[in-house]
Amino acid sequence: MAQQYEFAGHSGSPMGADQSAIVAAASASLACTRSPRAARDAVTMQATNTPVFAGWDGSILQARQLQQQLAQRVVLQDQVSTAPQVLAGFDVGFEDDGQTTRAAAVLLDAHTLLPLETHVARLPTSMPYVPGLLSFRELPALLQALALLSRTPDLVFIDGQGIAHPRKLGIAAHFGVVTGLPCIGVAKQRLAGSFTEPGPERGEHSPILLGGAQIGWALRSKPRCNPLIVSPGHRVSMQGALAWTLRTLRTLRAYRLPEPTRLADRLASRRGEVMSDVQGDLLG
């Protein structure tokens, strides 16, 4: 069955040619903010009332209100297929001195963690960096990259926050609610909450708390490295997010990142070809 998308409160069409057209049309309508100073008062965009951000007036205030509304739709229950076949990893980088947003997507075999296909989507950068509003900057390009995949992933990993966010709607949660796909956020740095430093060994972890409620995990994925910030994005439980992240850490080489976001990060940052990188691991 084709995956049905719902863009911020209104239904879209199934993934495929129609979905690609919707994402492309919405993303093409984005315009760069004229100055960082203006962005502090209003994120001046032409993306309002598009399928991606339906009803958004372009202001920071309303963006935060939309985050609070969409956060109510996050599902924190495990709804991942009992026999997942493919995983996906996504990350975002920037080119042309930040003028172009580069979203990388990697589809992996769920059993071997080997990449099946890779794609890069490029769109004009639509707004400057505003703390806590990363998804409004990166989501259009990520949706474009998703539309390039030949198969719908059973589970998505995104380099960024899930609900470990001041308003509990980081990029992985926003992406999950918009697409309906099970999603996990794996970030390199904490954005919200506090935690006790986990033990030094790989796999040790501690809860991240915000206002007395758990919003994620601090996971030591590699000895002598800072912990990762792992949190559910959508249709994944707190325990499920931790278990899946541990499951996708490669044991052959002690990488810090789980394989889906490690490969996507490599592709987004243009540090190397994903296929040759994996081949080197297998030979080494």
Q: What are the pLDDT digits (tens) for 94-115?
A: 999 889 999 999 999 999 999 9
Q: State the pLDDT confidence band at 56, using cuts at 50, 70 and 90.
A: confident
Amino acid letter for position 271 = R
Specify whether the CB–CB gap between 8 and 179 falls below 8 A.
no
**Long-range contacts: 194-203, Cβ < 8 Å, 24+?**
195/227, 197/227, 198/227, 200/224, 202/249, 202/254, 203/246
Q: What domains are defined for the chain? A: 6-283 (3.30.2170.10)
User: Both tokens of residue 8?
Assistant: 């911020």
Q: State the pLDDT confidence band at 12, using cuts at 50, 70 and 90.
A: very low
91 is in an annotated binding site: yes
> Region 249-265: what's the mean pLDDT?
89
Give the separation between CA 114 and CA 111, rounded to whole angstroms: 8
> Region 203-214: what's the mean pLDDT?
97
Average predicted confidence (pLDDT) for the chain: 82
Q: Name the pTM for this structure.
A: 0.81
119 CB neighbour count, 10 Å cutoff: 18
Kindly state the percentage of the chain with pLDDT values over 90: 66
Per-residue pLDDT, 21: 39
281 is in an annotated binding site: no
Give the separation between CA 7 and CA 11, rounded to whole angstroms: 6
| Beta bridge partner(s), residue 12 | none
Give the separation between CA 19 and CA 71, rounded to whole angstroms: 24
